[in-house]
């Protein structure tokens, strides 16, 4: 049984755990270990997660499967992107599942919750950035109706960046 719960600052430990584990599972091979570890420590420490959860512009939700945290998303309402003419739009900044839950269709449930929240806020679409080599994620977003509208680079460190697609879902 699944349950999606919105996170608060009191959930920083949970977000740090699910966030750092899912980051390494999905992107750990995209850069040298020392770069990934530094990125994880900077953005997925308990302190960093607490600060993000306290920022009222961020919306985080976690999905539980049989009582276990299985993944999460982060959205930010009304965030423009140079490649997106549609306004206002929500940015889907993160949507990650832990590997052991990949084949349970939980990503679809998380995305639907994010889209529902975005629509309720009055936004007209959702955009995201996805690593070009993450074929599983690219395919997932395409199946959900996202269209590729551009490309960019995701900077992990001053010496490493990964190519990303910019994708848009119109409501």
The pLDDT value recorded for residue 160 is 87
Q: Among 53-62, 88-97, 115-124, 149-158, whose mean pLDDT is lowest?
A: 149-158
Tokens standing for 160? 């490493």
Q: Which helix (H) or strand (E) holds 121?
A: none
- pLDDT tens-digit map of 75-98: 999 999 999 999 999 999 999 999
pLDDT, one tens digit per residue, over 152-167 is: 998 888 888 899 999 9
The domain containing residue 54 runs over which residues? Answer: 2-170
How many domains does the chain fold into? 1
Residue 68 in tokens? 């276990």
Q: Which pLDDT tens digit goes with each residue over 6-54?
A: 999 999 999 999 999 999 999 888 889 999 999 999 999 999 999 999 9
Report the alpha-carbon distance of residue 9 to residue 41 in Å, rounded: 18
pLDDT at residue 118 above 90?
yes
- What is the structure's pLDDT at 89? 98
CATH number of the domain within which 78 lies:
3.40.630.30
pTM for the predicted model, two decimal places: 0.94
């Amino acid at each position: 049984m699944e349950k999606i719960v919105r996170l608060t600052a009191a959930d920083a430990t949970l977000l740090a755990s699910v966030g750092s584990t899912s980051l390494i599972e999905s992107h750990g091979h995209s850069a040298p270990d020392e770069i990934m570890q530094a990125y994880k420590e900077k953005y997925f420490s308990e302190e960093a997660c607490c600060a993000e959860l306290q920022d009222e512009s961020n919306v985080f939700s976690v999905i539980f499967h049989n009582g276990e945290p299985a993944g999460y998303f982060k959205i930010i309402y009304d965030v423009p992107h140079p490649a997106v003419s549609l306004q206002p739009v929500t940015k889907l900044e993160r949507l990650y599942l832990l590997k052991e839950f990949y084949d349970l269709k939980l990503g679809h449930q998380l995305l639907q919750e994010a889209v529902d929240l975005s629509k309720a806020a009055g936004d007209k679409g959702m955009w995201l950035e996805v690593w070009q080599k993450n074929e599983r994620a690219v395919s997932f977003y395409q199946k959900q109706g996202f269209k590729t509208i551009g490309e960019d680079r995701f900077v992990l460190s001053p010496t490493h960046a990964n190519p990303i697609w910019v994708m848009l879902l119109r409501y």
